[in-house]
Amino acid sequence: MPEVSRDYLEQKIAENSEYRYDKDDLLTIARAQEQTEIATSDKHLGLVVCDTDLLVIIIWSEMRFGDCHPWILETFEKKVERGNRSYLLCDHDMPWEPDPLRESAETRPELFRLYQEKLDTYNLDYHIIKGNAEERLKSSSALIPSLF
């Protein structure tokens, strides 16, 4: 599905090149993400592949602002209770690729550790994906059918 946060932030930056997001933006992004996930799931009979989901927004918010809006946490926890979530956690073993919206080049190992901790805390199914882009695609493609 489309990366809701990227579309949202690109639009804001197009309107104002000096734009800097805040916690309210993360809540707006999370709500749009949730609506898009539901619509995509309904359209594709439950199978949805996301680059960003509410877990990513939780970690993003906690790293950037020190906490996360309760709606985001509660909505994510309800999704976890319903089950049926699997994650492909990409290792930080690939070289950093600059992107105007990408942050945290120097904290990639710490972010990876935070993702692992959150996935473990929520007792979520995940697989670590390593290697170059081709190896990651091959590993992910092989794993996805077994997850559903």
DSSP secondary structure string for all residues of 15-53: H-TT----HHHHHHHHHHHHHHHHHHHHHTTT----SS-
* Nearest Cα residue to 61 out of 143, 106, 109, 5: 5
Global pTM? Answer: 0.90
Sole residue written with tokens 């309760």: 70
Tokens of 41: 């799931």
Contact 56, 87 (CB under 8 A): no
Structure-model confidence comparison of residues 84 and 79, the more confident one: 79
Contact 88, 145 (CB under 8 A): no
71-75, 83-87, 104-108: least confidently modelled range? 104-108
pLDDT of residue 46: 65
Give the 3-state DSSP-derived string for 82-113, with helices as H, strands as E and coil as C: HCCCEEEEECCCCCCCCCCCCCCHHHHHHHHH
74 has a pLDDT exceeding 70: yes
